[in-house]
Structure 1
């Protein structure tokens, strides 16, 4: 009775297998060993093949070491466990020295008697329990009966736990199928469908999944293209968009719309050719299955799943994938048709939007920004840029944001020599679109660190009145992203862009002419309205800085010391720059170019001014971030009055010949006005002196009679 009670207590652990599974096996064997004062207890379960009894739990240090070694015994082999599992009967050795089929385990040297009890559930042997004692003839009939009863109940608990786990797994797979199917139905793009499909592999024991899609020409498949992928360990795979010509790869020809293609070992399957085996080796795949994506009898692709070693693919897994691929094929086809319709509508809308920009925006920078941003927003490019021809160079004017970020490239970041080959310059020289499906393999691609994810590029020339004035360039982060349809669309956009840019340029020229005339008028008005030299120079410097949006300074010439002294300095917004009460004189050693303008009495233009200036004058240069400068000598009646200085900041267009000529005209008018004001001041001062002399004379004459 005591033994039965102990057995019943031990079985409480077995019943918990329904919830805790094999995690309780170590506790079970330890409990049995303690309750029956045994030397060793171990539990073996048959593997999937039924050929081996694998140790799943064992007591003591010996059990721990055997578990680490993966200890297993062959079913039907020369061991008590092997015999027991093969015959489904208990085998008892009250004296192990006399047992013919016993495995003499060196880790258990003290064993004197042993029982191997089969674990039988629903008439099927699922394993065995070894019970060993360090005493000979340790087991009575009552012990054997009690322990066998416990073994039977433990087997039932283990089998119930297995069935429960299988049921739970089936429910889990059904839920995963439902969730994946729902995600496929909710996908907004074919790429979303592909990602959902390959990510289903996360829920399986697969190591890799890849979506393969056919490309068609005249209704016939010509390439099998690699699309979305997933791997269990993040291993490198063939790049997205890799194309496999159908006539060069057996795997592309073996797919059928009505059944999966299963390869259990790529090295042993005679259907595969060397290119296909090489593909598998690169991805470290030894076995794979491809489940077709088909609409009726029309095959559009397949889902490839694989493992690192030779293996079979269960019917349940293939059925689940077949169900998902059927849903995915319909979703991809519907989304493709929807995407084509939507894309065409976007094309027309984008063209109309750029057309509206021609009439609504006349600022060149704004026009270019609107063109690149609209093109990216409407068509989802990785990057869109617009480059314009400037002499013998092609200069980056503006670009969209990069990828999903808010980063942009600075103007002038890319400057290309038109004589050197590149994708964009080739478009200018040939006047034809240049399409590169994979920039990694085209030596003409100009590498820009910020655009490291670019994989394909399309450059279309912008023409105005038969002359190429620039390039509209789009890039994608996927290879083979652009088709002939994209080329035609971008050509249409480039035509609209050319009209918009030309209109903006013409408007800018008219506006610049009007602004220049207004500036000259202001200089003349200032000369007429003010005869005070200081007031005149302030008004003129303010007008010049505002109109030209450049820092402006006027320096007075001191012939006695042959130095220059700042009189007024204004920033690009027309605000005066405060000068110290004692303004230091500027010498030829500080700013050589400005004194060269005085010496030659001619305009001087200096590039990279900070590297040519020293001393206090450098303060003015750095405070405004001036890069280049123009120095205009102010001369009246062959006499040097001073210097008009203009600085070009970063982002301001370079000073061209027209602008420099205009600055000289402004300087000539300013010279006349300044000289007139100076002469007027001298006349006033002379009149004041004469008036004072006359007053003193009158006072002198009035005082004479009294003396």
Structure 2
């Protein structure tokens, strides 16, 4: 592409420094000298030519052209590597021009002063020392040569001019010094900044090297972690892990401890080299506490690093590892649970440091997960083996039940010989020679054998595989047939059980309906109940059984009809079928409703037990507490009567202490004084106390062991429950009803629960009463002791003792005396 002309670009090319100058300052200085030299050369050349054309080629024209030539030489030098010669030559040219131009000018003083000032300004291109030398030379030279070269300037004018030049020189020198000082300060600052930057760069390089080292360690840790994280046997995994870690990180020794199931010790599971083998042979282990580096890491769940073992107070040397100089223990944690510790040791002090923790912690995390996975794999394999063994046991049990010698013989077999199928006798032995034998297996359990006689040359791999394939097909089909037959057998047993349940259910239902008619007879005018269906007679009758699940629960009879009438038979049979279905549904519905009512009643009874227990537990007076219990028991459970006997082991008597009468009974509020010996045979209460078991009689008049109470003539059912604390009998809770069969097993359980709570409350109340009496006795004894101790004479002591003891015991007389006479 064509470049457009640019004066600026052209000027920059004319003054550009030599390529060998690399310093920006030197290049800029060289370019400035080139620009001044070039400008001076051009101006001088034009001035000289102009002078020559105007006045002729005189001395002024010659001097001006000479200055142009010298400036041109200076320009050439400034474009070379020796640009400093150019600046010296430029200054010398300007200094020379002072003495050449001034005499030729009209205002010599002014021109001289300006020329010297410009020359001195140009000397700023030099350093301070060179500038001072040149300034001094120029000023001294001017002062010395002025009378000769400028005789027209004399007197005060010369003096003032020289003073001005010296002042300008001094000012320029001072200014140059100040500028150089500032530049030196800036240079120092730049150098300091450069040094700081270099220091920072060195620190960054060190940090980068450390980072690269850590990154390499993390890469190594990741590589080792990936290598050991393959799910496999735990022993193999740990052995491979410690060897890889030791080799990849150039360590002295590496070992892995695992926490034992009791969470009490760290057990060494793997270690490198002969030391690891020796320690494992010793079954080396550490207590799970802070007494060791590994124990501390496990207990505190954080790594322990000892960079220099020789300077550590907690390091405990191992005689088998004398070269250990640094050690690091990292806990192996899975789901906040420590499963073990990874321990690494180095021969070099500082070989294991805090900075290396990130890499090793990542490695420890991967190792912990690998250990957990290996354990889970082992557990899964064990579980699978157990399931398979259980399945085999189930399979064998199933076949043993199938071949139970009742439904099937214990051994079944068939022999095919000469195209004839013959039963295999139990004592027939299977041939061993020239025979291909394959077990018939179901679920891994061998149940039989398939054997085929073949000559040796006929026992090819194909023949053997065919026998195995047929054995597999036989096993599968036999298992399917067994399952079908067993399912049918179970179905029949279930149907029999259902029939038995139906029959027992109807028997129970009919027993509960003894007060209601069980049959009805229609005499063409009305339906009447009948006591017994069998008492009906007729000349001819059609009778169809009423069956539920093949169990006959009644019959439907039509009298005085032709029993051979098929149409009538079908009609009656259909009615009987529908009748059986409907009455079974009604029975089940009634039992369900009865069960719901029973559940509601049980819930109310349990709530009553809770209420009675809560109220009685607040009462500390024994008699009052028992009165509350029997009263609430009679009311809450709707009983005919309830009472409690307490047992006195000293005389082996049961004493009635509380009675709960029906509301409005004439005896309500009384408790009686009945006592019963625990050995008395005719007493349900005594029997319950002796046996420590509940005694239930739902029809007391039919039980010879029942003891009637003339105050309770309506009793028909009675339940006696012992009050027990451990094996100790505290008494008996006795409840009675005016209905036969009033109590069920559930009622017994409810009353046993209530009796246990009452026994606890009775024991607590008795303990409280004993504690209260003991406290009162201690208080009384303390009071008497204080009064006795306050006495100051023997007589006063005896008097206080007799008086206080008599008052405390409410005794009519009390004597306190001293006597030394023989009695």
* Same fold per superposition (TM over 0.5): no
TM-score (norm 1): 0.32
The structure where strand makes up a greater share of residues is: 1
Q: Which structure has the larger Rg? A: 2
Structure with the larger RCO, 1 or 2 (CA within 8 Å, 6+ apart): 1
